[in-house]
Structure 1
Amino acid sequence: MAQPEVSVSGVSVSARIPEFWTDLPRHWFIQAEAVLHPQKMSDEAKFQFVISKLGKDVIQQVTDILVKQPENGKYDTLKTRLLDIYEESENRKVQKWISEMELGDQKPSQLLRKMQELASGKVTDETLTILWQNHLPGWVRGILTASGLSDINALARMADKVTENAMPIQGVAAVRSARSDSPDVIAEIHKLGERLRKIENSQQMLICLPEFL
């Protein structure tokens, strides 16, 4: 009579645990272990149980472990592999959340502060600068690049001034409506224009060069 009871218990346990969640692997293991722990299952039994909950695509990711099974710690080996494959790192999650933010009607510096708060030291300033600038209009990014500034807070202040005092004309080539009481913005715009002219002159020289070859 003992064997049917084990079988019934096994069916009950299996029914309480869904198929492996590829989007929330750690949550799945927390739930699965909460159900499996009272059963006092062996390492081999837990290993086989997890395998029974894996779909075709997931099985393909752990085939090497299934074909050549480790002598010890089978369950932990399989668990570690699945978490490594399907669990996003904390940094990747933060970068994903940041990339989904929008500038909207707020100032560039306001957006940056929200990103910095969310990043909370998990993302480097260099990466954060790239993620933040990706949310700005192209013509603003062009001016920030031409400024030569590297400090992210200084870039944010410049972005605020540029967006408050200027409107793009033909992309980043020219800016109008700059207020006379913002000489630093006007100076940066002039510098940008000069750099653009040098680039254009260089391109024209390259075009004309074949005629002399």
Structure 2
Amino acid sequence: MSFDNKDAAGPSDPQVTALAVRVPPFWRRNPELWFVHLEAQFQMSGITSDATRFNYAVVGLDEESILLVSDVVKSASYAQLKSELIRRLSASESAKLDHLLAGLTLGDRTPSQLLREMRQLGGSKIGDDLIKSLWLRRLPEGTQAILACVSGSLEELAATADQVQEVYHPTIAAVQSRRGHHFN
């Protein structure tokens, strides 16, 4: 008995192509990165039609985001929808710089995570020397002292700072003792 696969759905079948795209839920905090992710899905699925891209993007938006661009959704192209969502939801350059200069702290991040966020906020407008200076100021004093003795690229310093933080500021897990159990 031979198996003839002529009726099987192939890559040109629109139903298979439609199933291949998984539109991620919209990321209001980072619409630009959401579009990068969505466009990777389009690339993997071979979707090049502007109308198809537009429809998939609209399907991925939550109600609040659709309302934000309701004027664009009614009669726009994919490129216009993308640029308007990014423009309307992204912080202004001055707000990003304000946050970079005054608003960031290390918090519960690693030093390398803080550095990546600072670089993202600074974009191409802020050079590595200024980023390095701002970044070092936000690290614990002990880490700053150790890094003052280390040479290397900013990435190497960040890796060293991560190791220092891991040693000197480990996550503390609560330990509960059991009453009544004594070991001699």
Q: Select the structure that is richer in helix.
A: 1
Higher Rg of the two aligned structures: 1
Instruction: With the length of structure 2 as denominator, give the TM-score of the two structures.
Output: 0.47
